[in-house]
Amino acid sequence: MPTAASERDGGGRAALGKAAAGLAAAAVVSLTGLAAEPLSPPPPARAESLTVAFPVSKAREVNRVQRTLVEAWGLIRETFVDPTFNHQDWDMRLQQTMVEMFPLKSEDAAYGKISGMLSTLGDPFTKIISPKEYQSFRIGSDGSVQGVGVFINKEPSSGRLLVMDCIEGGPADRAGLHGGDELVEIDGKSVSGLDGEAAAQRLRGRVGTTVKVKVLDGTENERNGRIRQKEVQLSREVINLSPLSTAIISHRSDDGRECKTGYVRLAAFSQTAAAEMESAIKKMEDEGVQSYILDLRNNPGGLVKAGLDVAQMWLDGNETLVNTVDREGNVLPINMARGHSLTHDPLVVLVNEGSASASEILAGALHDNGRAILVGHRTFGKGKIQSVTELDDGSALFITVAKYLSPALHEIDQVGIQPDIQCTPEMLSLPRAPSLKEDDKATNLEMDSCIMVAEQALEIEKSKGSAS
């Protein structure tokens, strides 16, 4: 486990090795905090050290957190994306935090001081979580967690915690929760002030245990202006975080031919997402699909590598998938290597304000390389690269180490990606021919206005010839 090295003598002096701190930068890389693989090797570490003096706490548990503080501070010093540390003296900030931590008696209070130090960086994504929280947070190799199957995001403008989506068939879905619901309480405690990840931590837990949630019904609010509150008890289960679902939408063209559109919904990027996507595309190609709709709406992201792997299934050659910008302002493109697309059929990608991180990378890669038309609403705008390092005490430090730009060098972070076509009901002008297959899934999809807009865009694209 790569971590910063610290040594302490009887006088309470800690020596932080920069070489070790540099090595810790090789930790896994992720956009949403889910474990991922590094996209590129870390820069060479510098073989120099810094000695920091601090008063040693007499409380054993606080003393352990003091060492964690030094470790976290060193990693920030070496890798944080802003080399000015939000225009402050980072060395002085460590000493101030040490002095504030010295009289504390509890571990929780000491971790609070580390969180306070990190908050001065002005980046909400750079944070520390306790060993217990980290164990709950970690994703297994099969891409699953123990929870209730709900995706949550904090709305930037209002600070509300909104349900973005539910895993189909999961506890939250079975209980009637849906996208647009506002989360207000978990087990009787208000979620005010929590971010999406902190709320998700409260919802996770051992299989078989339960959690009570209170939400404001978003559907009722939109339908008639009234807000209905509901409270449900959810049982925690093993949740598969690779919820890829597919359908074939069939209809008759004006000349009587059967037209098939392959619909692929990807709700998150887990370790199995790319393999499932490859299987889905190949199967639909065998079934004679002539165009595709890739639905990334309310997909909050996940593993960056999974997003890049999916992008390569739709692209040929040595195209740039995304650009990274480090703390020195250096732009590094991440390119395909002799890629070969699984299909050249026309493609529309659906996005909205709930599409974030890896979703935005994928949408940007397909759009900027001329492979797909984007339909929907402007995306969330989270284009930060984070390192995730497990520290010596089992806690985890999340650090924003760089940011992403789209292949065409467009900003993603705090800006989002603007679709080519906004999907609103009044844009629908062409009549729809009757569906050939009246199964529930296809019928429900054709009632989605954005999917109807996407199909119209595909018809126009097919009339021009296949995408390249």
Annotated catalytic sites, by residue?
A: 357, 382
Q: Nearest CA to 112 among 187, 185, 71, 62?
A: 62
| CB distance 150 to 46 below 8 Å | no
- Adjacent-strand bridge partners of 153: 162
229, 227, 239: which is closest to 200 by C-alpha? 239
CA distance 101 to 55: 9
| Chain Cα centroid distance, residue 303 | 7
Quote the tokens at residue 188. Answer: 């009787």
How does 313-345 read in b/e, with b if 16+ C-beta sit within 10 Å?
Answer: bbbeeebbbbbbbbbeeeeeebebeebebbbeb
Of the candidates 120, 112, 45, 29, the one whose C-alpha atom is nearest the C-alpha of residue 82 is 120
Q: Given strand 258-266, what is the order of strands in its sheet? A: 244-252, 258-266, 291-295, 347-351, 373-376, 421-422
DSSP string, 117-178: HHHTTS-TT-EEE-HHHHHHHPPPTTSEEEE--EEEEE-TTT--EEEEEE-TTSHHHHTT--
